[in-house]
Structure formats: structure tokens, C-alpha cells
A = this chain, B = another copy of it.
């Protein structure tokens, strides 16, 4: 029997029409899938309905994959694919399996030789890098900065060294209510001529991608409090 494929469906970063950020192919494939593995049930249903109002949610099977899922459950989620059904993976925001639990399902599929098909969609990491003007030939995404003061200081020093030594753009995120504090912290602890790009509400109505030397951020007025934001450093 032909085995099903695992389709990775990127979702919205911001509430916009599907045609702003998703190719038509995604919607076409989505309409044909009956089995979904999702990070959150409510937001996945809302996403599917926003893509196509005619999708009948009650006809679909959903499995939850999130931080509460045990490793042995992940393998069982591949069952429909072994029986010939395609499986769609949808995460909370952005691209499944990049900075989210979908990666475990993909790894399990790869171990069993099940075909994985990533689809095009919005990624704050990639889009902020495009808009920053920084080096895209060499870059690192670090996820969240450590909270512990000492490990955090070490991380800043490591980032500074990678920028100087390897010309490597550093990309990272922060808990949104600490965004303003992070900018002040970077401006006071790193060289003033180093460049910081602050990219906020990517793809959304209030999208803003601003690159400035840290010395200018120090004097600038801004408010990124609780707004989805990603940060990039380079010099």
C-alpha cells in the first residue's frame, strides 16, 4: 500500500487574509487532508476555517502534539500515514517543526521513511533576516535568551564574538512583555556601533522592521511591549 505523506502547513503570524502569506497550493492540499496533528485544537480549527470557510471541521480527525505529549505517543500519530492517509501538521504560529513540537513527529516520520513535505509560509526568522540588511550567508537562530543573569551575560558575549569572528548574524527572541527591557539591556551592554534590528508584527498591519546602531536605540523612543517581536544583531 502507498503510504501517506506528512504535509507541514505554516499558519498565520498575524490575522491576515490567507492569500497574503500562503500559496494557493497549501489551501488545495489542506482541503484534501482528513488527519491533522496540531499544537492547539481551537487555533487549528480557526486557522482551517480562515483558509477555507467550506472546510467541514467535524469530518476531520485531530491529534494534539504539544509539550504535554509523551514521546511514545508521537510514533502512534503516524498510524494514518502507514495506512495510506496523508497527515497535515499545523502549529500555533508560523512554520511547523521550526521552534515547535512538530519536529518530533517529523523525526519519527524520517525514522520510518515516511515522506515529509514542508510547505511555504511566513517565518518571522527568515522574513526579519531579509528585512534587516544583515548577513544572510551566515546566521544563527538562538531561540530565547537565558533568563539567569550570568548565563545571559555569557550569551551576549558569545553573540558578540560570533559577529566579530564569523560575521554571523545573531537572531533571538524574548518574552514579549520584556521586549523594551531587552533593547535597553543590549544598548547598555554591547558596543554602540553594533547594529540592532527590531522586527515586530511581521506580515501584520503594524509590521515594523528597523535597523539602527545600538547607540541610536539608546536615544530612540519605542514601545514593543507585548508585541510579537524578533531581534537581530550584527555589525
Residue positions of A touching B, CB distance < 8 A: 8, 18-25, 95-100, 102-104, 106-111, 115-118, 120-123, 125-143, 168, 197, 202-203, 207, 209-212
**Can you show 23 pairs from A to B with CB atoms below 8 A apart?**
A8-B131, A18-B23, A20-B120, A22-B23, A24-B24, A96-B130, A100-B136, A103-B134, A103-B135, A106-B133, A107-B133, A108-B133, A110-B197, A110-B212, A111-B211, A116-B130, A118-B128, A123-B126, A137-B141, A138-B143, A140-B140, A140-B141, A140-B168
Bound form: Cα–Cα A99–B120 in Å:
18
Asked, given contacts A20-B25, A140-B140, whether A118 binds B99 with beta carbons under 8 Å apart, the answer is: no
> Is A117 a contact of B136 with CB atoms below 8 Å?
no
Complex contacts, A142 vs chain B, CB 8 Å: 138
Complex contacts, A110 vs chain B, CB 8 Å: 132-133, 197, 210-212
Could you say how many copies of this chain the assembly holds?
A: 2
Q: Helix, strand, loop or mixed for chain A's interface?
A: mixed
Bound form: Cα–Cα A134–B105 in Å:
10
What 7 A-B pairs come out closest when comparing CB atoms? A107-B133, A98-B136, A19-B24, A118-B130, A106-B133, A110-B211, A118-B127
Complex contacts, A104 vs chain B, CB 8 Å: 133
Complex contacts, A118 vs chain B, CB 8 Å: 126-128, 130-131, 202, 209
Complex contacts, A22 vs chain B, CB 8 Å: 23, 120
> Is B117 a contact of A207 with CB atoms below 8 Å?
yes
Closest to A95 in B: B130
Complex contacts, A96 vs chain B, CB 8 Å: 130
Bound form: Cα–Cα A19–B26 in Å:
9
Selected from B24, B97, B129, B203, the residue in CB contact (under 8 A) with A120 is B203
Complex contacts, A97 vs chain B, CB 8 Å: 129-131, 133, 136
Complex contacts, A137 vs chain B, CB 8 Å: 99, 141, 143
Minimum C-beta distance from A114 to chain B (A): 11
Minimum C-beta distance from A113 to chain B (A): 8
Bound form: Cα–Cα A139–B19 in Å:
29
> Is B125 a contact of A106 with CB atoms below 8 Å?
no
Minimum C-beta distance from A87 to chain B (A): 14
Minimum C-beta distance from A25 to chain B (A): 4
Closest to A162 in B: B140
